[in-house]
Amino acid sequence: MENIAVVFGGRSVEHEVSVITGMQIMENMDKTKYNPIPLYITKDGKFLSGESLKDFSNFKNSDFSQAVEVFFKGYNGDNNLYTVASKKSGLFGKESEGLEVYSKIDIVFPALHGTYGEDGCFQGLLELISLPYVGCSVMPAAVGMDKVIMKKVFQSENIPMTDYFYFYREDWEDRERIINKAEELGYNLFVKPANLGSSVGINKAKNRESFIEAVEVAIRYDRKVLVEKAVENPREINAAVLGYENEVIVSACEEPIGWKDLLKYEDKYVSGAKGSKGMKNQKKNLPADISDELRLKIEEYAKLAFRAIDAMGDARIDFLLDGDNIYVNEINTLPGSLAFYLWEESGISFKELITKLIELSKIRYNQKSENITSYDSDLFKNTSYGAKL
Protein backbone atom coordinates (compact mmCIF):
# COMPACT_ATOMS: atom_id res chain seq x y z
CA MET A 1 0.00 0.00 0.00
CA GLU A 2 1.32 3.43 -0.96
CA ASN A 3 1.45 6.38 1.40
CA ILE A 4 -0.17 9.41 -0.27
CA ALA A 5 0.44 12.76 1.44
CA VAL A 6 -2.60 14.94 0.80
CA VAL A 7 -1.45 18.55 1.22
CA PHE A 8 -3.99 21.27 1.95
CA GLY A 9 -4.48 24.61 3.69
CA GLY A 10 -1.58 26.93 2.94
CA ARG A 11 -0.72 30.62 2.95
CA SER A 12 -3.55 31.72 0.68
CA VAL A 13 -6.86 33.56 0.83
CA GLU A 14 -8.29 30.27 -0.48
CA HIS A 15 -7.10 28.40 2.63
CA GLU A 16 -10.55 27.21 3.74
CA VAL A 17 -11.50 26.01 0.25
CA SER A 18 -8.27 24.02 0.16
CA VAL A 19 -9.10 22.31 3.46
CA ILE A 20 -12.43 21.16 2.03
CA THR A 21 -10.69 19.84 -1.10
CA GLY A 22 -8.18 17.95 1.04
CA MET A 23 -10.99 16.37 3.06
CA GLN A 24 -12.77 15.31 -0.13
CA ILE A 25 -9.64 13.66 -1.54
CA MET A 26 -8.85 11.72 1.65
CA GLU A 27 -12.47 10.63 2.07
CA ASN A 28 -12.81 9.34 -1.49
CA MET A 29 -9.36 7.78 -1.98
CA ASP A 30 -9.30 4.02 -2.61
CA LYS A 31 -8.18 2.76 0.82
CA THR A 32 -7.41 -0.71 -0.58
CA LYS A 33 -4.55 0.83 -2.60
CA TYR A 34 -3.56 3.99 -0.78
CA ASN A 35 -3.01 5.21 2.75
CA PRO A 36 -3.89 8.93 2.86
CA ILE A 37 -1.64 10.96 5.15
CA PRO A 38 -2.94 14.45 5.89
CA LEU A 39 -0.36 17.23 5.55
CA TYR A 40 -1.95 20.48 6.65
CA ILE A 41 -0.15 23.78 6.07
CA THR A 42 -1.34 26.42 8.52
CA LYS A 43 -1.98 30.02 7.52
CA ASP A 44 1.44 30.95 8.89
CA GLY A 45 3.19 28.14 7.03
CA LYS A 46 3.65 25.34 9.59
CA PHE A 47 3.36 21.74 8.35
CA LEU A 48 1.13 19.56 10.54
CA SER A 49 0.12 15.91 10.28
CA GLY A 50 -1.75 13.28 12.28
CA GLU A 51 -4.97 11.29 12.23
CA SER A 52 -6.86 14.13 13.93
CA LEU A 53 -6.52 16.15 10.72
CA LYS A 54 -8.87 13.73 8.98
CA ASP A 55 -11.68 15.03 11.19
CA PHE A 56 -13.22 18.18 9.72
CA SER A 57 -14.64 19.21 13.09
CA ASN A 58 -11.12 19.98 14.30
CA PHE A 59 -10.82 22.62 11.58
CA LYS A 60 -14.19 24.08 12.50
CA ASN A 61 -13.01 24.34 16.11
CA SER A 62 -9.40 25.28 15.25
CA ASP A 63 -8.28 22.38 17.45
CA PHE A 64 -4.84 21.15 16.34
CA SER A 65 -3.69 19.98 19.77
CA GLN A 66 -3.35 16.37 18.59
CA ALA A 67 -1.45 17.24 15.39
CA VAL A 68 2.29 16.78 14.96
CA GLU A 69 4.56 19.36 13.37
CA VAL A 70 6.45 17.78 10.46
CA PHE A 71 8.76 18.82 7.65
CA PHE A 72 10.70 17.61 4.61
CA LYS A 73 14.50 17.77 4.88
CA GLY A 74 14.88 19.05 1.34
CA TYR A 75 17.44 16.42 0.32
CA ASN A 76 17.23 14.89 -3.14
CA GLY A 77 15.83 11.38 -2.83
CA ASP A 78 14.78 11.70 0.82
CA ASN A 79 11.04 11.08 0.69
CA ASN A 80 10.47 11.04 4.43
CA LEU A 81 8.42 13.38 6.54
CA TYR A 82 10.31 14.16 9.74
CA THR A 83 9.34 15.40 13.17
CA VAL A 84 11.31 16.52 16.21
CA ALA A 85 10.96 14.01 19.04
CA SER A 86 12.15 14.05 22.64
CA LYS A 87 14.70 11.39 23.53
CA LYS A 88 16.03 10.30 26.94
CA SER A 89 19.57 8.96 27.32
CA GLY A 90 19.54 6.13 29.87
CA LEU A 91 17.10 5.48 32.69
CA PHE A 92 17.83 8.75 34.49
CA GLY A 93 19.30 10.66 31.59
CA LYS A 94 18.27 14.10 30.43
CA GLU A 95 15.80 14.54 27.66
CA SER A 96 17.06 15.89 24.36
CA GLU A 97 15.47 16.61 21.03
CA GLY A 98 16.30 14.68 17.87
CA LEU A 99 14.95 14.10 14.38
CA GLU A 100 12.66 11.15 13.84
CA VAL A 101 11.05 9.80 10.68
CA TYR A 102 7.33 10.45 10.96
CA SER A 103 6.31 8.71 7.73
CA LYS A 104 7.69 7.65 4.39
CA ILE A 105 5.85 9.34 1.51
CA ASP A 106 5.43 7.62 -1.86
CA ILE A 107 3.41 10.29 -3.70
CA VAL A 108 2.15 13.77 -2.83
CA PHE A 109 -1.37 14.85 -3.77
CA PRO A 110 -1.43 18.68 -3.62
CA ALA A 111 -4.81 20.15 -2.74
CA LEU A 112 -3.47 23.67 -2.22
CA HIS A 113 -5.59 26.37 -3.84
CA GLY A 114 -4.18 29.75 -4.76
CA THR A 115 -0.80 31.25 -3.95
CA TYR A 116 2.09 29.08 -2.70
CA GLY A 117 0.37 25.92 -3.93
CA GLU A 118 -1.63 26.19 -7.12
CA ASP A 119 1.02 28.50 -8.61
CA GLY A 120 3.90 26.00 -8.72
CA CYS A 121 5.72 27.07 -5.54
CA PHE A 122 5.04 23.88 -3.60
CA GLN A 123 5.66 21.77 -6.71
CA GLY A 124 9.13 23.33 -6.88
CA LEU A 125 9.92 21.98 -3.41
CA LEU A 126 8.81 18.50 -4.49
CA GLU A 127 10.97 18.73 -7.62
CA LEU A 128 14.03 19.56 -5.50
CA ILE A 129 13.63 16.42 -3.41
CA SER A 130 12.50 14.25 -6.37
CA LEU A 131 9.21 13.30 -4.78
CA PRO A 132 6.44 12.25 -7.21
CA TYR A 133 3.31 14.40 -7.08
CA VAL A 134 -0.11 14.68 -8.69
CA GLY A 135 -1.04 17.42 -11.14
CA CYS A 136 0.83 20.07 -13.09
CA SER A 137 4.56 20.60 -12.73
CA VAL A 138 6.06 23.99 -11.85
CA MET A 139 5.79 25.75 -15.22
CA PRO A 140 2.20 24.82 -16.24
CA ALA A 141 1.00 25.42 -12.67
CA ALA A 142 2.52 28.91 -12.72
CA VAL A 143 1.16 29.68 -16.20
CA GLY A 144 -2.31 28.43 -15.29
CA MET A 145 -2.29 30.57 -12.16
CA ASP A 146 -1.11 33.80 -13.79
CA LYS A 147 -4.07 34.91 -15.91
CA VAL A 148 -1.93 37.32 -17.96
CA ILE A 149 0.77 34.79 -18.89
CA MET A 150 -1.97 32.22 -19.52
CA LYS A 151 -3.61 34.55 -22.04
CA LYS A 152 -0.30 35.19 -23.80
CA VAL A 153 0.21 31.44 -24.19
CA PHE A 154 -3.36 30.99 -25.45
CA GLN A 155 -2.83 33.80 -27.97
CA SER A 156 0.17 31.93 -29.39
CA GLU A 157 -2.13 28.95 -30.02
CA ASN A 158 -4.89 31.11 -31.60
CA ILE A 159 -7.32 30.24 -28.82
CA PRO A 160 -10.23 32.74 -28.90
CA MET A 161 -10.45 35.13 -25.93
CA THR A 162 -12.03 38.48 -25.14
CA ASP A 163 -9.89 41.63 -25.48
CA TYR A 164 -7.80 42.58 -22.45
CA PHE A 165 -4.89 44.55 -21.08
CA TYR A 166 -2.95 44.44 -17.82
CA PHE A 167 -0.89 46.71 -15.61
CA TYR A 168 1.17 46.65 -12.43
CA ARG A 169 0.34 48.13 -9.05
CA GLU A 170 2.89 50.91 -9.44
CA ASP A 171 1.29 51.88 -12.78
CA TRP A 172 -1.84 52.87 -10.87
CA GLU A 173 0.03 55.96 -9.67
CA ASP A 174 -0.76 57.32 -13.13
CA ARG A 175 -4.39 56.27 -12.88
CA GLU A 176 -5.64 58.57 -15.63
CA ARG A 177 -3.56 56.67 -18.17
CA ILE A 178 -4.98 53.33 -16.95
CA ILE A 179 -8.54 54.70 -16.89
CA ASN A 180 -8.17 56.02 -20.43
CA LYS A 181 -6.92 52.62 -21.56
CA ALA A 182 -9.92 50.97 -19.94
CA GLU A 183 -12.33 53.39 -21.62
CA GLU A 184 -10.68 52.74 -24.98
CA LEU A 185 -11.47 49.04 -24.41
CA GLY A 186 -14.99 50.07 -23.39
CA TYR A 187 -17.20 49.27 -20.41
CA ASN A 188 -18.36 46.78 -19.22
CA LEU A 189 -15.08 45.36 -17.93
CA PHE A 190 -13.91 42.71 -15.49
CA VAL A 191 -11.04 43.68 -13.19
CA LYS A 192 -9.09 40.77 -11.70
CA PRO A 193 -5.96 40.10 -9.66
CA ALA A 194 -3.72 38.18 -12.06
CA ASN A 195 -2.83 35.44 -9.57
CA LEU A 196 -5.89 34.43 -7.59
CA GLY A 197 -8.78 32.02 -8.00
CA SER A 198 -12.24 31.38 -6.55
CA SER A 199 -13.37 34.81 -7.81
CA VAL A 200 -11.55 36.52 -4.91
CA GLY A 201 -10.84 40.19 -5.66
CA ILE A 202 -12.75 40.17 -8.99
CA ASN A 203 -15.33 42.84 -9.79
CA LYS A 204 -17.26 44.09 -12.79
CA ALA A 205 -16.79 47.74 -13.76
CA LYS A 206 -19.68 49.43 -15.56
CA ASN A 207 -18.32 52.98 -15.47
CA ARG A 208 -15.32 55.05 -14.39
CA GLU A 209 -16.28 55.13 -10.71
CA SER A 210 -16.80 51.38 -10.41
CA PHE A 211 -13.60 50.76 -12.40
CA ILE A 212 -11.58 52.77 -9.86
CA GLU A 213 -13.22 50.85 -7.01
CA ALA A 214 -12.53 47.50 -8.70
CA VAL A 215 -8.86 48.33 -9.24
CA GLU A 216 -8.47 49.45 -5.61
CA VAL A 217 -9.70 46.01 -4.56
CA ALA A 218 -7.61 44.03 -7.07
CA ILE A 219 -4.28 45.70 -6.24
CA ARG A 220 -4.65 44.65 -2.62
CA TYR A 221 -4.44 41.00 -3.68
CA ASP A 222 -1.77 41.11 -6.40
CA ARG A 223 0.82 43.45 -7.92
CA LYS A 224 -0.50 42.65 -11.42
CA VAL A 225 -4.06 43.42 -12.52
CA LEU A 226 -5.96 42.05 -15.53
CA VAL A 227 -8.70 44.06 -17.24
CA GLU A 228 -10.98 42.11 -19.61
CA LYS A 229 -13.76 43.17 -21.95
CA ALA A 230 -17.00 41.66 -20.66
CA VAL A 231 -19.25 39.56 -22.85
CA GLU A 232 -22.77 40.95 -22.52
CA ASN A 233 -25.38 38.39 -21.45
CA PRO A 234 -22.98 35.46 -21.77
CA ARG A 235 -23.58 31.80 -21.13
CA GLU A 236 -20.82 30.20 -19.07
CA ILE A 237 -19.87 26.65 -20.08
CA ASN A 238 -17.28 24.59 -18.20
CA ALA A 239 -15.57 21.35 -19.13
CA ALA A 240 -12.72 19.36 -17.58
CA VAL A 241 -9.78 17.65 -19.25
CA LEU A 242 -8.03 14.58 -17.86
CA GLY A 243 -4.74 13.07 -19.00
CA TYR A 244 -1.23 13.96 -20.11
CA GLU A 245 0.36 15.07 -23.38
CA ASN A 246 -1.76 13.73 -26.27
CA GLU A 247 -3.68 11.14 -24.24
CA VAL A 248 -6.48 13.35 -22.93
CA ILE A 249 -10.26 13.09 -22.60
CA VAL A 250 -12.90 15.78 -22.00
CA SER A 251 -15.70 15.56 -19.45
CA ALA A 252 -19.34 16.44 -19.81
CA CYS A 253 -20.04 20.18 -20.14
CA GLU A 254 -21.89 22.13 -17.45
CA GLU A 255 -23.64 25.49 -17.48
CA PRO A 256 -23.92 27.36 -14.16
CA ILE A 257 -27.30 29.08 -13.91
CA GLY A 258 -28.94 31.64 -11.68
CA TRP A 259 -25.92 33.99 -11.61
CA LYS A 260 -25.56 37.49 -12.95
CA ASP A 261 -22.32 39.17 -14.05
CA LEU A 262 -19.98 37.06 -11.88
CA LEU A 263 -19.96 33.95 -9.74
CA LYS A 264 -18.63 35.17 -6.38
CA TYR A 265 -16.75 33.10 -3.81
CA GLU A 266 -19.95 32.73 -1.75
CA ASP A 267 -21.89 31.49 -4.78
CA LYS A 268 -19.31 28.81 -5.44
CA TYR A 269 -18.56 27.54 -1.95
CA VAL A 270 -21.01 28.88 0.63
CA SER A 271 -24.51 29.24 -0.81
CA GLY A 272 -26.42 26.01 -0.29
CA ALA A 273 -23.30 24.11 0.74
CA LYS A 274 -23.25 21.68 3.65
CA GLY A 275 -19.48 21.92 4.10
CA SER A 276 -18.29 19.17 1.81
CA LYS A 277 -19.48 19.53 -1.76
CA GLY A 278 -18.02 22.84 -2.91
CA MET A 279 -19.10 23.92 -6.40
CA LYS A 280 -21.16 20.78 -6.81
CA ASN A 281 -23.93 22.65 -4.94
CA GLN A 282 -23.96 25.60 -7.34
CA LYS A 283 -27.04 25.52 -9.55
CA LYS A 284 -26.24 24.27 -13.02
CA ASN A 285 -27.43 22.42 -16.08
CA LEU A 286 -25.40 19.24 -16.28
CA PRO A 287 -24.98 18.32 -19.03
CA ALA A 288 -25.26 21.78 -20.58
CA ASP A 289 -28.03 22.38 -23.06
CA ILE A 290 -25.90 23.11 -26.13
CA SER A 291 -25.81 21.79 -29.67
CA ASP A 292 -23.51 18.93 -30.63
CA GLU A 293 -21.62 21.33 -32.89
CA LEU A 294 -20.88 23.73 -30.02
CA ARG A 295 -19.98 20.88 -27.68
CA LEU A 296 -17.43 19.48 -30.15
CA LYS A 297 -15.84 22.93 -30.58
CA ILE A 298 -15.65 23.36 -26.82
CA GLU A 299 -14.02 19.94 -26.45
CA GLU A 300 -11.48 20.88 -29.12
CA TYR A 301 -10.61 24.20 -27.44
CA ALA A 302 -10.48 22.51 -24.01
CA LYS A 303 -7.86 20.03 -25.21
CA LEU A 304 -5.93 22.78 -26.97
CA ALA A 305 -5.85 24.96 -23.84
CA PHE A 306 -4.79 21.99 -21.68
CA ARG A 307 -1.92 21.06 -23.99
CA ALA A 308 -0.92 24.70 -24.61
CA ILE A 309 0.34 25.09 -21.04
CA ASP A 310 1.65 21.48 -20.89
CA ALA A 311 -0.88 20.59 -18.19
CA MET A 312 -1.21 17.14 -16.72
CA GLY A 313 -3.71 15.41 -14.49
CA ASP A 314 -7.02 17.24 -14.28
CA ALA A 315 -8.05 20.80 -15.15
CA ARG A 316 -11.33 22.66 -15.68
CA ILE A 317 -11.54 25.08 -18.60
CA ASP A 318 -14.15 27.85 -18.38
CA PHE A 319 -15.78 29.21 -21.53
CA LEU A 320 -18.06 32.13 -22.34
CA LEU A 321 -20.64 31.84 -25.13
CA ASP A 322 -21.99 34.83 -27.04
CA GLY A 323 -24.47 33.19 -29.38
CA ASP A 324 -22.33 30.71 -31.31
CA ASN A 325 -19.10 32.59 -30.53
CA ILE A 326 -16.85 30.75 -28.07
CA TYR A 327 -14.31 32.47 -25.81
CA VAL A 328 -11.93 30.67 -23.48
CA ASN A 329 -12.06 32.47 -20.15
CA GLU A 330 -9.44 30.57 -18.12
CA ILE A 331 -7.96 27.22 -17.18
CA ASN A 332 -8.17 26.04 -13.58
CA THR A 333 -5.47 23.47 -13.00
CA LEU A 334 -5.43 20.87 -10.28
CA PRO A 335 -5.39 21.50 -7.35
CA GLY A 336 -7.49 24.55 -8.16
CA SER A 337 -10.17 22.34 -9.63
CA LEU A 338 -10.85 18.62 -9.34
CA ALA A 339 -14.23 19.00 -11.09
CA PHE A 340 -15.10 15.52 -9.85
CA TYR A 341 -18.83 16.07 -10.46
CA LEU A 342 -18.14 16.60 -14.18
CA TRP A 343 -16.33 13.27 -14.30
CA GLU A 344 -19.11 11.54 -12.36
CA GLU A 345 -21.50 12.74 -15.10
CA SER A 346 -19.04 11.21 -17.60
CA GLY A 347 -19.03 7.82 -15.85
CA ILE A 348 -15.83 8.18 -13.79
CA SER A 349 -16.37 8.04 -10.03
CA PHE A 350 -14.48 10.31 -7.65
CA LYS A 351 -12.53 7.29 -6.37
CA GLU A 352 -11.58 6.28 -9.91
CA LEU A 353 -10.58 9.87 -10.72
CA ILE A 354 -8.20 10.02 -7.74
CA THR A 355 -6.66 6.69 -8.76
CA LYS A 356 -6.17 7.86 -12.36
CA LEU A 357 -4.49 11.07 -11.15
CA ILE A 358 -2.10 9.15 -8.91
CA GLU A 359 -1.20 6.76 -11.74
CA LEU A 360 -0.61 9.70 -14.11
CA SER A 361 1.84 11.19 -11.62
CA LYS A 362 3.96 8.06 -11.86
CA ILE A 363 4.18 8.37 -15.65
CA ARG A 364 5.49 11.93 -15.44
CA TYR A 365 7.92 11.02 -12.64
CA ASN A 366 9.32 8.06 -14.59
CA GLN A 367 9.72 10.23 -17.70
CA LYS A 368 11.66 12.84 -15.77
CA SER A 369 13.83 10.19 -14.11
CA GLU A 370 15.20 9.34 -17.56
CA ASN A 371 16.60 12.87 -18.02
CA ILE A 372 20.34 13.44 -17.65
CA THR A 373 20.89 15.86 -14.75
CA SER A 374 24.70 15.98 -14.60
CA TYR A 375 27.45 16.40 -17.17
CA ASP A 376 31.05 15.41 -16.41
CA SER A 377 33.70 17.70 -17.82
CA ASP A 378 37.17 19.06 -17.07
CA LEU A 379 35.88 22.62 -16.77
CA PHE A 380 37.32 23.18 -13.28
CA LYS A 381 40.72 21.82 -14.27
CA ASN A 382 40.86 23.82 -17.47
CA THR A 383 39.78 27.17 -16.10
CA SER A 384 42.31 29.80 -15.04
CA TYR A 385 39.96 31.39 -12.49
CA GLY A 386 42.03 32.60 -9.51
CA ALA A 387 42.14 31.02 -6.08
CA LYS A 388 41.28 34.25 -4.27
CA LEU A 389 38.14 36.35 -4.49
**Binding positions:** 147, 190-192, 198-199, 228-236, 318, 329-330, 332
Tell me if 52 sits within 8 A of 67, measured CB to CB.
Answer: yes
Query: Could you confirm whether 384 is annotated as catalytic?
Result: no
346-to-253, 334, 341 alpha-carbon distances in Å: 9, 18, 9
Which residues make Cβ contacts (< 8 Å) with residue 29, sequence separation at least 6? 4, 6, 36, 351, 354
Catalytic residue among 12, 14, 118, 254: 14
Q: How far apart are CA 91 and CA 199, in angstroms?
A: 59
Tell me if 294 sits within 8 A of 282, measured CB to CB.
Answer: no
Query: Helix 15-28 vs helix 350-369: angle between axes, to the nearest 10 degrees?
Result: 100
Catalytic residue among 12, 18, 137, 337: 337
Residues in the chain: 389
Query: Could you confirm whether 14 is annotated as catalytic?
Result: yes
Binding residues for ATP, by number, are 147, 190-192, 198-199, 228-236, 329-330
188-to-200, 225, 304, 389 alpha-carbon distances in Å: 19, 16, 28, 59
CA–chain centroid gap for 32, Å, is 27
Binding residues for Mg(2+), by number, are 318, 330, 332
Which residues make Cβ contacts (< 8 Å) with residue 342, sequence separation at least 6? 238, 239, 240, 251, 252, 254, 286, 316
Catalytic residue among 12, 49, 198, 251: 198
Q: How far apart are CA 113 and CA 124, in angstroms?
A: 15
Q: How far apart are CA 345 and CA 238, in angstroms?
A: 13
Query: Could you confirm whether 370 is annotated as catalytic?
Result: no
Tell me if 132 sits within 8 A of 29, measured CB to CB.
Answer: no
Q: What is the DSSP string of 192-219?
A: EETT--TTTT-EEE-SHHHHHHHHHHHH
Residues carrying an active site annotation? 14, 198, 337
